[in-house]
Amino acid sequence: VFFAVVFIFPRCQCPTHSHTYSQGNTSMAVSNIRYGAGVTKEVGMDLQNMGAKNVCLMTDKNLSKLPPVQVAMDSLVKNGIPFTVYDNVRVEPTDASFMEAIEFAQKGAFDAYVAVGGGSTMDTCKAANLYASSPHSDFLDYVSAPIGKGKPVSVPLKPLIAVPTTSGTGSETTGVAIFDYEHLKVKIGITSRAIKPTLGLIDPLHTLHMPARVVANSGFDVLCHALESYTTLPYHLRSPCPSNPITRPAYQGSNPISDIWAIHALRIVAKYLKRAVRNPDDLEARSHMHLASAFAGIGFGNAGVHLCHGMSYPISGLVKTYKAKDYNVDHPLNSFVICRSPHFPHGLSVVLTSPAVFTFTAQMFPERHLETAEILGADTRTARIQDAGLVLAETLRKFLFDLDVDDGLAAVGYSKADIPALVKGTLPQERVTKLAPRPQSEEDLAALFEASMKLY
């Protein structure tokens, strides 16, 4: 019932508009993707079709030795495409690591890019393409406000083919590139439809190489993309709503199309994530998760995310000592991952606050909170609507417990004393936090961090 109301009377709330209908903030820029086991073998042909003659293949040091990169390189060689490899992508990139890749791209004068890796690689490649195509820009020009200037991109970029190797970020479908702005200790992003990859090659074979914790953590990213985008402010309630479509943000609030992607991705997470984590040979489960990652990406890439993501950036930015299992060379058997400095997996940083966040937001759209709890396995037949947040939170706690997630922020090295810094680090994330269905004061944020110290 709620859905119908939202969707049918798109009444603009913007103070500068006095009309009762019309608003048209819902612009669906959807993505080109090709799905199939082995599609990476076609990347050379795709580049040839694009007329590429000087390609940059980006990846990280760990993946550069693994089959996904090998398969892509073989295809480039086979199709006679001249290319240069850049494998210095930093896992959870920083402004400095972006800069290094940008410089490489500027010197190389490439006419196309291929990113083979997780969100870290794809995001770095997007930034490299953007700034190499816009050599007179300052780095902060395209970084989201308030930290950057958030300028719209008007230069033409080179084609970029993204080949995801994790099942998490959906970066192959989004116009987003995230990095750690080191001296401010916050994660922040560049958001523009212009940096969306030209094509995503979604090849489930790559998922067979992922260590268990990478599957789990990137799967939590899918989970939160779906849950958050489904519960963002509906598109017609978001403000400001610029009258010219070109100046409207990519993140426009939940809408009838992003909803479809979010719910579908959530169903897949509910059905397959546990299997995908437990069994590295479960190609069925891992294939479904690989596609779910793209689905959730298309959803949140149009709708946006909110508090789990907004609060995650200081969580991963301020971490001191956490040692991510499977993201480390100490376990040579089931881990191929080299990490050059302490970092905190993005998916884990978003999911740890999810029970607290959805308890907080549920009062706005309780039906949607209950609906997602049901998809995640809760029996909601007798649930009261005013308990929607608690029901979803409880369902999430159980899900995370089953998947061996650390017991809250305390378990990953935070204490109450860190809360002011965590709150301060969340404030600049208004690009996403203002999409939360419920406005938050600094006290609210502090309470959310506190409630996330312990999960079980």
Ligand X SMILES: NC(=O)c1ccc[n+]([C@@H]2O[C@H](COP(=O)([O-])OP(=O)(O)OC[C@H]3O[C@@H](n4cnc5c(N)ncnc54)[C@H](O)[C@@H]3O)[C@@H](O)[C@H]2O)c1
Phi, psi of 114 (to 5 degrees): -130, 125
Residues 392-431, mask of contacts with Zn ion (x by CB under 5 A): ----------------------------------------
Tokens of 425: 């680090």
State how far Cα 139 lies from the chain centre: 21
CB of 218 to a copy of itself, least distance (A): 19
**Residue 58: beta bridge partners?**
86, 115
Report if residue 77 touches a copy of itself, rule: CB under 8 A. Answer: no
Q: Which does 62 bind (CB under 5 to 8 A by kind): a copy of itself, ligand X, Zn ion, none?
A: ligand X
Residue type, 61: K
85 is an interface residue for a copy of itself by CB under 8 A = no
Query: For residues 94, 181, 179 and 263, what is the CA-based torsion angle, rounded to 10 degrees?
Result: 150
Would you tell me which residues interact with ligand X (CB under 6 A)?
60, 62-63, 66, 68, 91-93, 117-121, 123, 165-166, 168-171, 174, 176-178, 187, 206, 209-210, 214, 218, 221, 327, 336-337, 339, 346-347
Q: Phi and psi for 221 in degrees, rounded to 5?
A: -65, -45
Measured CA to CA in angstroms, residue 174 lies from 197, 222, 270, 299, 308 at distances of: 7, 13, 23, 9, 18
**Type of residue at 31:** S
Considering only residues 35, 53, 148, 331, which one is a binding residue for a copy of itself as defined by CB under 8 A? 35
Q: Which of 13, 22, 334, 386 binds a copy of itself (CB under 8 A)?
A: 22
**Are the C-beta atoms of residues 126 and 195 closer than 8 Å to each other?**
yes
Stretch binding Zn ion (CB under 5 A), from 8-16, 218-226, 276-284, 361-369: 218-226
Residue linked to tokens 């009838």: 256
316 touches 346 (CB < 8 A): yes
Tell me the closest approach of the beta carbon of residue 177 to Zn ion, in angstroms. 12
Smallest distance from ligand X to CB 366, Å: 27
Q: Mask: binding to a copy of itself, 223-242, rule CB under 8 A, as x and -? A: -------------x------
217 closest CA partner among 165, 253, 268, 169: 169
Please report whether residue 1 would count as binding a copy of itself according to CB under 8 A: no
What pairs with residue 179 in β-bridges? 188
Of 83-91, 182-190, 213-221, 230-238, the segment contacting Zn ion by CB under 5 A is 213-221
Structure tokens at 418: 């860190």
The residues of the shown chain that bind a copy of itself, judged by CB under 8 A, are 4, 7-10, 19, 21-39, 41-42, 45-46, 49, 201, 205, 236, 243-246, 255-257, 260-261, 264, 283-284, 287-288, 291, 295
